[in-house]
Amino acid sequence: MEKMKKSIRLTSAIGCKYWVIHPIMPFGLEDNGTELAKNTWDMNIEFMTELVKTAKEYNVVICLENMPMLDFSLSTPEDILRFVRTIYDDNFKICLDTGHVSAFNNLNLADEVRRLGKEIKVMHIHDTKQSRDLHLMPYFGRTDWDDFAKALGEVGYEGVFSLETAPASRLPDYIYEPMCKLLFDIAKEVAMKIVR
């Protein structure tokens, strides 16, 4: 807890408004449908409520991130939204991780943006294939980025657009540098499609 509070204070000190955190996973990654899910929920409520006190003091917004673990009780955007609404505080919102949504075969990223709406303050942008958290560059996986951008426009998203991907670092420089430029161009392409 003290390390987390110190991190929030440092976030404020460098002038950053948002601080992203994963749910705590006291019983591992597979508590869905067990009696442990309620304990996971309760422990997270207690933990995050305490952190919000520090966030309010330092004018930082904590953003709880959705997860790619298919059998964890606080993974899906719907789970995260229910949790954020339970805490119900302006200093506690959502970080939408696009690749984590796409790890669930039954979820559509654009529909999840529409579901979460104004609660989204930060995004981790990357793509995936199969049901794995691969952190691929956008358009290198299965995500429909056009529909995603349309949904962001519909909900009036104005938050952080943070890439959580990169070209493979083992590429030779003459390939790596153009790939970095390509990633920038891809991110710009997605962002330019957001119509408010």
Given this model, what pLDDT does residue 108 score?
96
43-49's contacts with Cβ under 8 Å and 24+ in sequence apart are 44/74, 44/83, 45/83, 45/86, 45/87, 47/1, 48/21, 48/83, 48/87, 48/92, 49/87
Helix ranges (DSSP H) in 89-172: 98-102, 109-116, 145-155
Show the tokens assigned to 96. Answer: 């939408």
Given this model, what pLDDT does residue 110 score?
98
CATH of the domain at 70: 3.20.20.150
Provide the domain count of the chain: 1
Given this model, what pLDDT does residue 195 score?
86
Given this model, what pLDDT does residue 196 score?
75
Cβ-based neighbours of 45, under 8 Å, separated by 6 or more = 83, 86, 87
Which of 2, 114, 6, 19 is closest to 64 using CA atoms? Answer: 19
Show the tokens assigned to 12. Answer: 């404020």
Q: What is the pLDDT along the chain (196 residues), one digit of tens a residue?
A: 999 999 999 999 999 999 999 999 999 999 999 999 999 999 999 999 999 999 999 999 999 999 999 999 999 999 999 999 999 999 999 999 999 999 999 999 999 999 999 999 999 999 998 788 999 999 999 999 999 999 999 999 998 889 999 999 999 999 999 999 999 999 999 999 998 7
How many angstroms from the chain centroid is the CA of residue 70?
15
Provide the whole-model pTM. Answer: 0.95
| Domain around 15 | 2-192
Given this model, what pLDDT does residue 45 score?
98
